[in-house]
Homo-oligomer: A and B are copies of this chain.
């Protein structure tokens, strides 16, 4: 029984979801399919050249305050990134290419922590290299693979798939065909999966 977790490394509300989902899913014996994608590409199709949190200042101001309150409640370290949205392309290529690696979840959390708790520029190879090293991996080999055409194509396809499935924001969760959007819906998605286990296991 799987829950698909669609996320973007630049997405602010994906941060608390990414940090918590594995613990919460394990509690319900659910597996996670980690599905990084490029939210910016989906925003572009909606006619936005920037995050709606930048395009609509009142909404943006609220989001930062809301996220601060949320992280405080969850006891999650948080610093408002000095740049937003940061370019999560490299991190997403790594996560997409190594979707079955045993270190994947730890790497994802390390990259989110870099962006939203340590205010580090995750578009930098150096920062992503240190996230990989922090989880005990060979950063040079992985970054080389992540920058190869196959990895680029893989992430493009996955972003296209997100769009086809009706994903319009991040984080998003799928349980079967059922879509849940937003960090606020993480527990609803998990509950749905538990409630419908028999159905999806057929």
A20 within 8 Å of B (CB atoms)? no
Q: Are B59's CB and A168's CB within 8 A?
A: yes
Chain B residues, Cβ within 8 Å of A180? 66
A98 within 8 Å of B (CB atoms)? no
Q: Are B69's CB and A168's CB within 8 A?
A: no
- Number of A residues near B (Cβ < 8 Å) is 20
Q: Are B168's CB and A56's CB within 8 A?
A: yes
Q: Are A62's CB and B188's CB within 8 A?
A: no
Copies in the complex: 2
**Distance (whole angstroms) from the CB of A53 to the closest CB of chain B:** 11
Q: Are B46's CB and A168's CB within 8 A?
A: no
Cα distance, A59 to B166, chains bound together (Å):
8
Chain B residues, Cβ within 8 Å of A66? 180-181, 185
A27 within 8 Å of B (CB atoms)? no
Q: Are B69's CB and A169's CB within 8 A?
A: no
A150 within 8 Å of B (CB atoms)? no
Residues in chain A within 8 A of chain B (CB atoms): 46, 56, 58-59, 61-62, 65-66, 69, 166-169, 179-182, 184-185, 188
Chain B residues, Cβ within 8 Å of A65? 179
Q: Are A184's CB and B181's CB within 8 A?
A: no
**Distance (whole angstroms) from the CB of A165 to the closest CB of chain B:** 9
- Which chain B residue lies CB-closest to A42? B58
Cα distance, A66 to B173, chains bound together (Å):
13
Chain B residues, Cβ within 8 Å of A69? 188
**Distance (whole angstroms) from the CB of A94 to the closest CB of chain B:** 27
19 contacts between A and B (CB under 8 A): A46-B56, A56-B168, A58-B166, A58-B167, A58-B168, A59-B168, A59-B169, A61-B166, A62-B166, A62-B168, A62-B179, A62-B181, A65-B179, A66-B180, A66-B181, A66-B185, A69-B188, A182-B184, A184-B184
Chain B residues, Cβ within 8 Å of A181? 62, 66
